[in-house]
Structure 1
């Protein structure tokens, strides 16, 4: 059910975002406690503000009321993905090259399942991450299909 809802919402929200020069980062449709939440994460090159979120929320809410694809009562939340933005699509990985990332894999790669370091490259099949381990740096080549989750990482120096 939640997969179908996210696909329908994606088809509805993209035409709203395009003229505003905003991009869809992610959609979640989840139950927390007794309540359902539809969360839409948006972004742009210069970031998004509360007005952008409000505009998208208003327009999407109208569309959702028209089409009514969700049988339950739910809360609609439109927001920025934040500093630790998830990397979901190929283009997200491409844009993150040279930045700090946090990656979890489905199974160990060289004995590790969690990698935090600089995203060195991404060719569509292999994610290459340079990780500092104490005083040395080690490069890991992670098959893309083994990435369980990935996001930008905020580091404090």
Structure 2
């Protein structure tokens, strides 16, 4: 007999209704500190909400201030202007600790989450997520793994190199194209040679 797992109502509400609001509220804090959110996941650990932020450093000459008040009243998360474009972006452990403290202070002060929660902040890694049009243009030529929401021609996962972005569609090598509306997730998919060419890697 199968027994369905019953998740707490609070967690379901956070997952379905407030994930976007949390990211939108935290984005200005990241921007003011010189970072952008490349990905945000809302999970559960030991019965508590787990907020995982993956961040990259934004280059100083292209930062644009985003007011906290605007984020609170606008459900649309504005894409950050630009970032270093390098895996990790020079994000340090001290950066992660500082951002974790700032996020926690903001959430507590504004009563964003009423119950206990856990925050994790880390760099995006070599397989960072691509979410915005600017990401696809910046990483043109890079190898990626595309996971679709629904199967297309019998497959949900496709691999290829980004060849462009046009009319809301991601273009890949092999004449593949996918609408953003049909994409569940796109990640960089470097091979061993690409990793060895990365600065700081040997």
TM-score by length of 2: 0.66
Which 5+ residue runs of structure 2 have no aligned equivalent? 1-12, 58-83, 194-202
Q: Match of 2:162?
A: 119
Residue 26 (str. 1) matches residue 39 (str. 2): yes
Q: Name whichever of 13-22 and 50-59 sits farther off.
A: 13-22
Check conservation: 2:142, 2:190, Cα contact below 8 A. no
C-alpha spacing 1:13/1:106, structure 2 compared with 1 (3 Å) = closer
How big is the shift at 1:82?
1.4
2:160 maps to 1:147? no
The structure carrying a bigger strand percent of its residues is: 1
Distance in 2 between the 1:7 and 1:141 partners?
Answer: 27
Q: Is 2:126 aligned against 1:83?
A: yes
Per-residue deviation, 1:111: 4.6
For residues 107 and 63 of structure 1, the distance between their equivalents in structure 2, rounded to whole angstroms, comes to 37
Aligned to 1:135: none
C-alpha displacement at 1:77, in angstroms? 0.8
**Secondary structure, aligned partner of 1:102:** strand
Match status 1:70 vs 2:121: no
Number of residue-to-residue matches in the alignment? 150
Query: Cα RMSD (Å) of the superposition?
Result: 2.1
Q: Give the CA deviation at 1:98.
A: 1.1
Where does structure 1 differ by over 4 angstroms across 4 or more consecutive aligned residues? none
The answer to which of 85-94 and 52-61 deviates more is 85-94
Q: How far apart are residue 107 of structure 1 and its match?
A: 3.5
After TM superposition, give the deviation of residue 21 of structure 1 in Å: 2.0
Alignment TM-score, normalising by the size of structure 1: 0.82
Establish whether residue 15 from structure 1 lines up as the match of residue 58 from structure 2: no
What stretches of structure 1 of length at least 5 have no aligned partner? 131-137
Superposed displacement of residue 51, structure 1: 1.6
1:5 has 2:5 as partner? no
